[in-house]
Amino acid sequence: NAGVTQTPKFQVLKTGQSMTLQCAQDMNHNSMYWYRQDPGMGLRLIYYSASEGTTDKGEVPNGYNVSRLNKREFSLRLESAAPSQTSVYFCASSATKNTEAFFGQGTRLTVV
Amino acid sequence: DQQVKQNSPSLSVQEGRISILNCDYTNSMFDYFLWYKKYPAEGPTFLISISSIKDKNEDGRFTVFLNKSAKHLSLHIVPSQPGDSAVYFCAASAIGSQGNLIFGKGTKLSVKP
């Protein structure tokens, strides 16, 4: 019963390095999302994908790119990491609108 | 400007009593509201939701109330248990959105034995 799986769980990057956060869901959900959580800020939407082959910007997309590789997988890429991207990143998926979203366990990213 | 507001960063209640967590919103296009619970180092987990066509939804110890005219919703937990201690997030999605959730900043609930 995996649900939403994110890798890695922890990562430390140097400023300017790149990396990709991976996310996969096994619930056959159409929609997938990437959020970041910062202290005192709640969760903010970075990018989302309403269906395979489509992606759209959320509230805080600058500095990120995404790929909806197939229905199961939705990756988030940082091309040139900055200290302001230090955060906890959550991937989520939902079946349709007006159904609950299921979240992964998060990736704690530190950019030094 | 925040569309979903949780104005109480923290709440402390005694075990067995009622916990009431509040949430206000500004966007009249929101049509679906959810509450999530989050423990440290874990992802948020879904608790309960309510559609804008309803004013109440119950699930066991959890009840969500929606007052559309006041743009206000609340989560009631009765009776509160120490295991309920966590951060609670209110979230909403809008008509015409793809299910994107807008979150409040959260309220940290502490239930004392």
CA neighbours closer than 13 Å in the CB half-sphere of residue B64? 25
Q: How far away is chain A from the Cα of B106, in angstroms, using its nearest Cα? A: 6
B38-58 average pLDDT score: 96
Indicate whether A48 pLDDT > 90: yes
**pLDDT greater than 70 at residue A1:** no
- What is residue A41's predicted lDDT score, i.e. its pLDDT? 85
pLDDT the model gives residue A86: 97
Q: Give the model's pLDDT for residue B100.
A: 87
Q: What is the pLDDT of residue B5?
A: 96
To the nearest whole angstrom, how far is the Cα of A64 from the nearest Cα of chain B? Answer: 18
Q: Which residues, 6+ apart, have CB-to-CB distance to A85 below 8 Å?
A: A63, A78, A109, A111
Share of chain A above pLDDT 70, in %: 99
Report pLDDT for B97.
Answer: 80
Whether B1 has a pLDDT exceeding 90, the answer reads no
The sign one gets for the Cα dihedral B14, B82, B101, B76 is negative
Q: To the nearest whole percent, how much of chain A has pLDDT over 90?
A: 88
The structure tokens 């440290």 sit at B40
pLDDT mean across residues, chain B: 95
For an interface test with A, give the residue of B10, B48, B100 to mutate (most A CBs within 10 A): B100
pLDDT digits (tens, 9 = 90+) for B53-90: 999 999 999 999 999 999 999 999 999 999 999 999 99
